[in-house]
């Protein structure tokens, strides 16, 4: 399995660089701070919401989302590789949790 990070963006439209005819699947990695870690950005958003007219929001946590286009089928081995990548590169597992899922 090879994860292709070469996707370019132009005017908010993803241009796939994978050769035509090669099947790709989208795998999403969501990274969030662990619950016990303070989230200053989330707190700033939470404080700003009532001033902007958005009431009733009890808490805000800020995170990151990575969308990976994976060539070929996403089997258990491919998911394991993405999980390894997320744990070693995309997330700081000391302070962040992550989830890996296939998006249809």
* pTM for the predicted model, two decimal places: 0.75
Which is nearest to 71 in space by CA: 13, 16, 14, 30? Answer: 16
Residues of the chain with pLDDT under 70: 1-19, 21-22
Give the Cα separation of 68 and 25 in Å (integer): 8
B/e letters for 20-32, b = 16+ CB within 10 Å, e = fewer, are eeeeeeebebbbb
For residue 13, the model assigns a pLDDT of 40
| 6 φ/ψ angles, rounded to the nearest 5 degrees | -90, 15
For residue 48, the model assigns a pLDDT of 97
What's the token pair of residue 97?
């949790």
pLDDT given at position 99: 98
The structural domains of the chain, ordered by start, are: 3-103 (3.30.1280.10)
- Tell me what pLDDT residue 73 has: 87
Q: State residue 66's pLDDT score.
A: 98
pLDDT of 104 reads: 74
């Amino acid at each position: 399995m090879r994860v292709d990070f070469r996707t370019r963006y132009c005017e908010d439209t993803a241009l796939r660089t994978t050769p035509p005819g090669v099947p790709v699947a989208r795998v999403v990695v969501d990274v969030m701070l662990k619950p016990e870690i303070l989230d200053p950005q989330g707190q700033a958003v939470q404080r700003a919401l009532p001033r902007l007219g958005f009431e009733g929001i009890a808490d805000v946590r800020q995170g990151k989302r990575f969308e990976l286009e994976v060539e070929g089928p996403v089997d258990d081995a491919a998911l394991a590789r993405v999980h390894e990548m997320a744990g070693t590169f995309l997330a700081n597992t000391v302070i962040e949790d992550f989830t890996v899922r296939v998006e249809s």
